[in-house]
Amino acid sequence: MPSAAGIVLAGGRSSRMGTPKAALEWHGSTLLRRTVGILSRATGGPVVVVRAPGQALPALPPQTEVVDDPREGKGPVQGLAAGLAALAERADVAFVSSTDLPFLHPAFVRRVLRAVADGADVGLPVARGYPQPLAAAYRTTLAALAGRLVAQGRLRPAFLFDECEVARLDEAALRADPVVAALDPGLESVVNVNDPAGYAAARARPAPEVTIQLFGPMAGAAGRAQASRGPRAARAATVAGAAAAAGIELAGHVVAAVNGDQITRDGETPLATGDTVFFLAADAGG
Amino acid sequence: MAPGGYFGRALVVDAGSGAAHALPLPEAVLRAYIGGVGLGTWLLHRLAPEGADPLAPAAPLAFVFSPLVGTPLTTSAKFAVLAKSPLTGMLTDSLASSGFAIAGKLTGHDAIVVTGACDRPAALLVDGSGARLEDAADLWGLTAADATRRLRERLGRGWKVAAIGPAGERGVRYATISHDGRHAGRGGLGAVLGAKRVKAVAVRAATKVAPADPRAVLAAARDLRARSFGPATAKYREAGTLANLLAFNAIATLPARNFQEASFAEAPRLAAEDLSRMRQVARHGCASCTIGCEHIYAAPGNRAVRVEYENVFALGPLCGVSDPDAVLAASARCDELGLDTISAGGTIAWAMECAERGLIDAPWLRFGDAAALLRAIDQIGAREGIGDLLAEGSRRAAGRVGRGSLAFAPQVKGLELPGYEPRTMQAMALGLAVNARGADHNRSGAYEADLSGDHDRLAGGPAHAAAAVETEDRAAVMDSLILCKFLRGVFADPFGEWAALLSAVTGWRADGAELRRAGRRIVLAKRLFNLREGWRPQDDWLPERLLTEPVGLASGRTAALTPERLRAMIDAYYALRGLDGQGLPGQADLEDLLLPGPAPALE
């Protein structure tokens, strides 16, 4: 498999929203923080945030890289060029996302990345009625082409697609992935929030349904009923939310592992539908 | 006059002649090596003839105490046992705890070193009147617990006993020395004592030793006691180390079936979360300990067994066995025979794989077969049948079996791997590869970094090397003071706080920087002892299986540790330790070690 990374384009003007979308809260985190975390989880590689020159961003994980668009207001291809260039030496393919996809699921990201692994330059979902260039996978070698298009003033993604091999993934192709079919059957990964009404609707949706399991002293804490040790279902969009649902504090001697993968103490680590969160003692001496 | 907390001398006893003499310990040496593992390392440099066979009479075995022993500081009643390991051919240092530490120190010595060998089974007795050997023919063949009981009945009140079981008598290369059911377990120290035909060492307190500042020590003890009841020790107190098992299984760090897998589907049957409710009969602590980590479970045959994660991991998932009765019985049997459960389980798991591949003629030895596990343990203890081969440990056994079986022998430097999967804990992978004792989780605590959330546990790199150095240095200081590592989480400024404790006891004005240097010095001194005894750069490495066979995680990701990545981490580790590309120290470091003789070199 080619090495993968993530790019989040955060430099849009948010004119219809009336306030910077990157900093909007969704179930205990910001939209940008959530998107960065989902891409980090799904790709296992670095994540680059591309912002407008000097744009203020909400808090991000320390390993997140931030690069500036050379000029403001030039649209997504410029951001794409900047992000791909930043990753060109370290990854073969990048999933490129806008900052306003609260329902973006790691399984969707992985499915789209596979299109480039299969040989295309771009994996372009066509879902919920539209092509989704800001929820798509791009080979990082496209950085030069994207830069040239910007220099020529050809600022729409369609110009890029005209000059490379694009694998269009329709809804059937996306749902053919059994994990996507199970965890994101409505392909809500591509639902963005563009205006206050859309944001209000997104906030009204419940947090993802996840499973929590406690181990060690958390499982054996006095008074904790056998049934509550887990695994058990909960609604939580972040690890901190899951900890709160379990009645424990994510602190110095407690760590979490999402789906048995990386260990984290970061409460803002995003969760998606179908995730399992393990809470265990950080003190592992044995 | 010795500093507070010390007597300033070691007792050296020749088991052959019965003669004993006091070896003065200069204050500079005590300050440089502190006690326990550190001081023991210096003593081995000083007293072990270069190149001696670990089972030869000339090879010394040292029981080493520490300045904190005998104080009211929680968890300080521990002692170290050191020798050249018959399993690895390098230095091994194991800890045990409780009354033997206090009584042994209060014989008036900072260490008791046994050299030579008796003509017939004997017990070494040390008290205020010195050292003497008594006939112990009637104890030979008994379990350590039975031998201890009988010896104490004979000697009367006040005697504390460390003894070997039948495995030590028969030279099983991973036999233990046990005291009060706790084992100085790793590296075959029981075989070293058995080769000297010393069944037991009994000590009785005869004097006192005062700390330099009793009020400060008492205040520190009260503070530490209060902290020992907090969340940092909750796991040990409430569930014991077995709490690791189900958690490690969930994050694919529970080695199973001889490291062919990183999780075990039947792990819930062995989990502390439920097993403790059904089996636990008591919870104990060592002398001077307020944590009380020992969870005693009922084992078949009306036996009670101390249950630890490592016992259950090695005799359960590693051998594919999930029947809790069988695993507890196997653990109890290892205790009776005096076998290191990790090495026993690792060697048997290797043999099970060999049998399944048709490499050895033992068709009965199959993963998951509880009866086969118990039969193999008995044969090892008796050195009968295939047990004679397995008593040699997995590396030597693989050397005899050949046919590629060394690639999956679960060992580093000959010491079998503990229950921390290196491919999914890559800081720990480095710690296991470079540690002087071999594959060891107590001298390298690098798994702390893997579980901290601060590093990518699946992608080892320079940050992991720094974590491995830091945790190794901390372990060296804790093992020399000695404080139990289960207490480590209560220290916000470990080196600084340990220096304050040491200063209160000794009267020195030690600071954190001094203790950091001591930790580094002790790690280096161990490395240098190994170099003297034949260590080669290729000994700092992992088994081929771990570098060629990836393992899967529940998330769908694959964890792989490549030779190139391990090499890069080792190089980074060497650089941080000031070692050259072959792992050798520079001249400036050598001069700081206060060691006798010329510096060893690679041949």
Residue A13: its pLDDT value, please? 77
Fold of B9-204: Aldehyde Ferredoxin Oxidoreductase;  A, domain 1 (3.60.9)
Burial B291-301 (b: 16+ CB within 10 A, else e): bbbbbbbbbee
Residue A223: its pLDDT value, please? 46
CB contact under 8 A, A217 and B243: yes
pLDDT class for A75, splitting at 50, 70, 90? Answer: confident
Contacts of A47 in chain B (CB under 8 A): none
CB contact under 8 A, A283 and B450: no
Spatial separation of the C-alpha atoms in residues B267 and B257, rounded to whole Å: 12
Q: What is the ipTM of this complex?
A: 0.90
Spatial separation of the C-alpha atoms in residues B469 and B475, rounded to whole Å: 10
**Residue whose tokens read 């503990």:** B418
* Token representation of residue A199: 């944001």
Please name each of the domains of chain A with its CATH number. Answer: 4-200 (3.90.550.10), 206-281 (3.10.20.30)
- Pick from B271, B295, B298, B306: nearest CA to B180: B306
Task: Kindly state the average pLDDT of the residues A262-270.
Answer: 94
- Minimal C-alpha gap between B449 and chain A (Å): 10
Contact criterion met (CB below 8 Å) for A179 and A240: no
Write down the H helix ranges in B122-169. Answer: 144-155, 166-169
Residue B591: its pLDDT value, please? 86
Contacts of B556 in chain A (CB under 8 A): 259
Which sequence spans correspond to the domains of chain B? 9-204, 240-416, 426-591
B315 has pLDDT over 80: yes
pLDDT in tens, B527-567: 999 999 999 999 999 999 999 999 999 888 899 999 999 99
Considering CB atoms only, which of B310, B453, B456 is closest to A266?
Answer: B453
pLDDT in tens, B94-131: 999 999 999 999 999 999 999 999 999 999 999 999 99
Cβ neighbors of B223 (< 8 A, separation 6 or more) are: none
The DSSP symbol for B108 reads T
Instruction: Return the amino acid letter for B288.
Output: S
Contact criterion met (CB below 8 Å) for B333 and B385: no
Which range among A191-200, A225-234, B65-74, B152-161 shows the weakest confidence by mean pLDDT? Answer: A225-234
Write down the H helix ranges in B280-382. Answer: 309-315, 324-337, 341-356, 370-382
The class of domain B240-416 in CATH terms is: mainly alpha
pLDDT in tens, B9-67: 999 999 999 999 999 999 999 999 999 999 999 999 999 999 999 999 999 999 999 99
More confident residue, A109 or B236: A109
Q: Are strands B303-307 and B294-299 parallel, antiparallel or unpaired?
A: antiparallel
- Minimal C-alpha gap between B480 and chain A (Å): 18
Q: Does the domain spanning B426-591 belong to CATH 1.10.599.10?
A: yes
pLDDT class for B602, splitting at 50, 70, 90? Answer: confident
Q: In degrees, to the nearest 5, what angle opens at C-alpha B95 toward C-alphas B89 and B98?
A: 150
* Token representation of residue A158: 């369609």
Contacts of B494 in chain A (CB under 8 A): none
Domains B240-416 and B426-591 share a fold: no
B185 has pLDDT over 90: yes
